[in-house]
Structure 1
Amino acid sequence: EKIEFKRETPIEIADRKSNFADFIIENKILLELKTKNFIDKKDYYQTQRYLENANLQLGIIINFQQEHLKPKRVVNPKFINATRKMQMHTNDTKKEINDSHRDSHSSDFEAFECNSGHSHRDVIYNSGEESAQQIKLRFDRLGIKTENIKYLGETDTDMVCATIKKNRPALAIIDSIQTATSQDVDSSFGGVGQIKAATAKLMEVAKKDNIPIIIVGHITKGGDIAGPKLLEHMVDTVLYFEGEKMSHYRMLRAVKNRFGNTNEVGIFEMTGDGLKEVANPSAAFLENKSDVSGSVLTCTLGGNRPFLVEVQALTNPTQFGNPMRKSSGFDLNRLNIIATIINQRTDIKCASHDIILNIAGGIKIQDPAADLAVALAIISSMKNKVLPKNLVALGELGLGGELRKISQIEKRLNEAKRLGLTNILSPENSKTLSEAIKNLIF
C-alpha cells in the first residue's frame, strides 16, 4: 500500500524518522523507505540534500581567546611586518602544498601566512600534530592576532571538510596531510591511499565552495614530496620552504603555480620574533664577505629577482688516492664537471687536489651563471691569491672551456652596479675560461 504524505515538505518528511531506514554517508546519502515505496522524485532529491547538510558531523572549533588556552608566562614579541611576499592569490579558489623540512620552521611560516592579510577575516587552522595550547604559545611568541583564527584538531577528513563548508573561512590550513585520514580507505594514516583520498576531498571543497586551502606536507630525505606524485598534479600550487639547518635564512620557491609563473622566490630571515622578509638579499648575503683567497661574488636569480652571493672554495693537495669533493649549496656533480674543465682546458691542474665549495649564507643555487665564479674561486684558492673586492663573475662554462651567454644579464649587471661593483667578468669581455684567468693576472 502506497504511503500518502499529504502536503508535507521535504524537511518534514526527513524529520519523520520512523518512515526511513538507516542511511549511510559516503560520497552520497543512500535513502530508502521501510515500506519499499518511494516518494516523488523531486521530493526525494530535496530530502536527500537536506539530510546531507543536516547529518554531517562537524569538528569542534576552538577559539584561541579562551581562558584555558592562555599561556602561563607572558610573551611580548614584536609584531611581524613583511612589506613584500609571494603573491598567494587567496582571492581565488586554490589549493597549495607547502612542503618543508621540519627544521626549516614551517610552523612559523604557517603562522606568518595566518597573519598576512587575514587578520580581519576568519582562518581555520587544522592541526593533526599539535594541540591548541602549543599553537597558541607559538602565536603569542610571534605576536599573531588570534581573534579570527580558529583551531581545529581533527584528523578525519570528512569532519574537517564539513567544518570548513559550515564556517566558510577566508583561509583554511591543513597541517599536515600525512596525518589526515579518510573512512573510504582501509589503511593507516600517512599511506598513499589515505593521502590521495584526503587531498581529493579537500580539493572538492576548495573548488565547490571557493575556499583557499593550504596543505602542509612532509618531504623525503631526497627533498621530494612524501607521498604519491599524483598529489602535485591535484593541487594548484606547490611551494617549497627550505634552507640549511644551521642557517637563519629560508627560501620559499614555487615549482608549480597555476595562477602565475614559477620564477618567484621569497627570501626570509629567521629571528626570535619569527619570519621576516629580506628586502635586500644582496646586502644581507654580502654583509660578512671574507677578504681571503677562494672568495668570488656572483649574481644569481631568485625567480626574476637578482641578488649577489659569495662563492667560497678551499683546496688542498689530497692525502689519499682519490681527491675529495664536497659541496654545500651547489650541485656536487656540477662541481666535478667544473673541476675537470679547469684541469683539461687551462694550465692549472687540480686533479690531485681536494676541493671544498660553499655558498655563503646557507642558500642553494642552481643557476648555471655561477659556473665561472666557482671556477675562479677554486683557482684563487689553489694559487692563494685574493681576488678584487669589486669583482663579480658571471658565465656558464661549456665542456670546451668556453663561456656561454646567460639569461637576463642586464638585470644582474644592474644589481651589481647598484652595490658599487663595477669589475664584471662575463661572456661579453671574456670568451673562454683561460681568457678570464689572464684578465685577472693570476
Structure 2
Amino acid sequence: MAKVSNYFQCQNCEYQTPKWQGCCPECRKWNTLEEVSQSPAQPKNSAPGKTAAMTSLDNISTDEAPRFITGISEWDRVTGNGIVPGSFSIVTGDPGIGKSTLLLQVSAQLSAKYKVFYFSTEESLAQVKMRFQRLNHPSQTLLFSTQATLEIIVETCKQEKPDLVIIDSIQNIYSSENFSLPGTITQLRETAFYLMKLAKDNNIAIIVTGHITKEGQMAGPKILEHIVDAVFYLQKEDKWQTRILRSEKNRFGSVNEIGFFQMTSTGMIAIENINQHLINDTKHTPGSVLISCLEGTRPLFLELQALTIQTQFSVAQRVATGIDHKQIVLIAAILEKYLHIKFSGCDIFFKLSGGIKIKDNSADLGIALTLLSSYFQKPVPAQTIALGEVSLTGLIKPIQNIDIHAKEAAKFGFDNLLIAYDQKLETKINKHVRRFKSVYDLLELFPE
C-alpha cells in the first residue's frame, strides 16, 4: 500500500508547505492553509478507457442567443447590454449597499418574459416579500425559495430549466458532501465550480451575490473571480448619495463600465444623466477646474479642487483625496521646474469629486490649471473643460478619444475646450477651443 503524504496548501494562492501556519507566506492571507492527503504512487483515474471528444472550430456555431434586457438602463449598460444566457456572474459590495434590492428589481423585470428562480439564503420568504412589496412590481411569475443546499439547487434547476437563477448569497450555499462550514474557502470553491457547470451545461444564466472583506475586496479564494464570467461591484458615493455599479470583469461587455443608481424607498432608480448632478453643484471659483474622464464608454465630468498655501512646517504637506498624490506631486514639480513657482514651499490639498479614480494621464492639464488657479487665486474661464497630458519636459500632449469628450461637453453647454496644440479634433461643435504647446502658455490664463 502506498504511503500517504500530507501537506498544507493555501486555498487562495495554492502555496504548499509541510507544516500548518496561520498566515500564508506567499499571499499573506490568514487561515487559508488546509491539510491535503496525497498518494503519489497511485494516481487517480476516475474514467478508465474514456477520451475527450474533440471538434474543429469550423463546426462550432457562433450564433448568440438574445440577451436578457431588463429595461433598467444603468444595469443593462454595465452588464454589456443585457445578461447573456448561460453566463455566471457575481455582484458584491458592502452590507446594506443594495445588492439584494437591485437583483430583486432585475428579477421582477425579467420574470415578465422569462422563467426566473430567486434563492434567498440570508432572508426568510416573509422578509423577501416585505422587501419586494416596496418595489411595486408584480410577483406572480417570480418564484422564490430559501433552499441553501447546493445539490438540491442544482437538481431543481436541471429539472425545471429556468432561464435565470439568482442566489443571494453564495457564502450561505453549502454542499452536503462537504463537512466544512458554509462560507469557508473549500465550500466556496466547490459551490462556484458546480454552479458554473450548471450554467454552461444547461444554458442557465446565474447571478450570485458575494460578501467583501474589510479591505473592500471580494471575500473568498481568488479562483472564484477566475471562474465567474463577470464581477460587478456595488459601491456608495457620498457626494451625490448615489450607488455606483462597477464592472471589474466582464467576458461579454466592456470592462470598467459604471452605472449610477439612487436608493429610494421604492428601490434603486437608474440615473442616466449623472453629469447633470455635477454641473448643478459646480461653482466658478479659483482652485476649481472641470475635466472629463472616460469610464468604459461613458465620459464623466469631474471637478478638481486644489488649495495651495504657504507651509508652516519644515516639510510641505501633500494631501490628496480621490486621486493618487504622486500625480499631484509630479505635476507640481513640473510647474516649479519650468515656471519657477515655489510649490515646494506650499502645502497642497487636492480633491477629486465623484468617487471616481483617474487611471490615465488625460487629467494632467486639469491638475496643472487647478494648482495655478489656486496659487494665483484666479479662476479659469467659465464653462471650460481641460483635456491634455503634461510631459516631463513641460509640453502639453494630446489625448485619445477627444471627440467623445468634446461632444459630451457641448451637450451640457461647455463651449470652451483647453487642449494640446497638436490635438486633432474632428468635431467642431465647441465654440471656443484654446490650444497650448507647453506649460509656459498656461500663464496666459492668469494675467497679472
**Normalized against structure 1, the TM-score is what?**
0.75
Give the drift of 1:123.
2.1
Give the drift of 1:276.
1.9
Cα separation, partners in 2 of 1:345 and 1:249, compared to 1, 3 Å: farther
Equivalence for 1:433: 439
1:398-429 alpha-carbon deviations (Å, 9 max, x no partner): 33333232110011111112222222111232
Equivalence for 1:77: none
Cα separation, partners in 2 of 1:223 and 1:384, compared to 1, 3 Å: same
1:24-53 alpha-carbon deviations (Å, 9 max, x no partner): xxxxxxxxxxxxxxxxxxxxxxxxxxxxxx
Equivalence for 2:47: none
Percent identical: 34
Cα separation, partners in 2 of 1:316 and 1:149, compared to 1, 3 Å: farther
Q: Distance in 1 between matches of 2:369 and 2:274?
A: 23
Moved more, 176-185 or 421-430: 176-185
* 1:318–1:324 contact (8 Å) kept in structure 2: yes
Q: Distance in 2 between matches of 1:199 and 1:374?
A: 44
1:214-262 alpha-carbon deviations (Å, 9 max, x no partner): 1212233443322222112211112222233564222223222222332
| Alignment-mate amino acid for residue 211 of structure 2 | H
Moved more, 195-204 or 215-224: 215-224
Cα separation, partners in 2 of 1:114 and 1:180, compared to 1, 3 Å: same
Structure 2 unaligned blocks of 5 or more: 1-69, 422-434
Equivalence for 1:10: none
* 2:110–2:116 contact (8 Å) kept in structure 1: no
Alignment map for 1:259-338 (pairs within 5 Å) = 259-262=252-255, 264-338=257-331
Equivalence for 2:367: 374
Give the drift of 1:120.
4.0
Cα separation, partners in 2 of 1:397 and 1:229, compared to 1, 3 Å: farther
| Alignment-mate amino acid for residue 415 of structure 1 | E
Pairing partner for 2:102 from 109, 113, 116: 109
* 1:96–1:235 contact (8 Å) kept in structure 2: yes
Equivalence for 1:131: 124
Cα separation, partners in 2 of 1:292 and 1:171, compared to 1, 3 Å: same
Cα separation, partners in 2 of 1:221 and 1:116, compared to 1, 3 Å: same
Cα separation, partners in 2 of 1:407 and 1:112, compared to 1, 3 Å: farther
Pairing partner for 2:244 from 241, 251, 263: 251
Equivalence for 1:239: 232
State how many pairs are aligned. Answer: 363
Moved more, 157-166 or 241-250: 241-250
Structure with greater Cα Rg: 1
* 1:118–1:170 contact (8 Å) kept in structure 2: no
Structure 1 unaligned blocks of 5 or more: 1-79
Give the drift of 1:134.
2.3
1:372-417 alpha-carbon deviations (Å, 9 max, x no partner): 2122222222222222221111112333333232110011111112
Alignment map for 1:95-244 (pairs within 5 Å) = 95-244=88-237
Q: Distance in 1 between matches of 2:420 and 2:281?
A: 28
Alignment map for 1:375-414 (pairs within 5 Å) = 375-414=368-407
* 2:373–2:446 contact (8 Å) kept in structure 1: no
Cα separation, partners in 2 of 1:247 and 1:402, compared to 1, 3 Å: same
